[in-house]
Amino acid sequence: MPTNWTERRVVITGLGVISSLGTEVDAFWNNIVAGKCGIKPITAFDTTNFDCKIAAEITDFDPVPDLPSPKEMRRTDRFTQFSVSAAHRALKDSGMDLDKLNRDEIGAFIGSGIGGLNTTEEQHKIYLAKGPGRLSPFMIPMLILNMGSGLFSMYYKLRGPNVATCSACATSTHAIGEAWRTIKMGDAVAMFAGGSEAAVCPLGVGGFCAMKAMSTRNDEPQRASRPFDKDRDGFVMGEGAGVILLEELEHAKARGAKIYAELVGYGNTADANHITAPSPEGEGAARCMKMALRSAGLNPQDITYINAHGTSTPQGDIAETQAIKTVFGDHAKKVAVSSTKGATGHMLGAAGAVEMAICAKAIEQGVIPPTINLDNPDPECDLDYVPHTARQKPVTAIVNNSFGFGGHNATIIAKKFVG
């Protein structure tokens, strides 16, 4: 294995996704390419008094096969179940045999933007009705957001670096970037990295409704999330998880791993501007993309595809468009840009990792996924957003953007692997 950190190359060898469009990567990818949408009326609770009544809700999820026992399901929040299941799928997809490896050198960075909101809500009801003596002894372990990462490491005896990132909607992109750094520095040979979210519950939906951040196009769920369209009126929440398996290249080659792509760059900046609004003209996002390009040793002209944060909010889509123009200059009009949140909804802390799985498949398949529902482009959003229909095109290098409340920005760059 290389001893100099600059010599260590990091590749993507496993993908795991839990989403409203599928819980197996290939099925999920096929639905994304086909322009399908996972948004529908919420069934988890009565939405009568809510402004937003729709979400990309997962209604057919069974966590039992991915947990050590059915009893564990009762001791874990929904977001943790998503985390463990997505990570299990990434492991399965990778073909990695943990019994043949040193588990001291394998870790997990799996975060969440909110954590166990369902548990918080349910336990608060019990407290009000029956008092503190009836609270579950598992309440705290269920709701704290590090349990996705922690329990996965326990279930699989992974004793390497283990952290749960939390940076709102940039959470899982930060997890992937920091896992990349960890492998580059020689502190691990493989890392499971990503994020999970399960906030389709009264407090989650109600809180975002109170901010006026959510779409109210309740009569057209499939058309409600419409990034870069002039008729967009807010984001639609999604739930689920995404986990990527990263490996040091020589470690991956030694076990004959399938390689989706090589992760080559990472940017991490702060807007230092506002708790929810992006910085003017996307200044912080632009600095983040520039940092990622610099660490990757690539020029803007080298990028084939940008998976945009593109949440379908009035301010955010314009700011990201401006940031892309700032960074890419003349190439901004030539590079393909799409937001897949029209299909998946906004999966909050899970979004970046799910979109990284999409980017890895785009590189592997030579297909750029579409931005669905882009019927009437906003005049201020005037790039090539690949509207409606996927595009066959060789994808040599991608940018994956994620931006979160609090002014958190994260960008990952990956490219086609060349041995």
Active-site residues, by number, are: 169, 309, 346
Q: Which residues have C-beta within 8 Å of that of residue 133, sequence separation ≥ 6? A: none
Residue 38 and residue 311: Cα distance in Å, rounded?
15
Do 284 and 273 contact (CB within 8 A), yes or no? yes
The residue with tokens 């990349």 is 180
For β-strands 336-338 and 305-307, DSSP reports them as: parallel
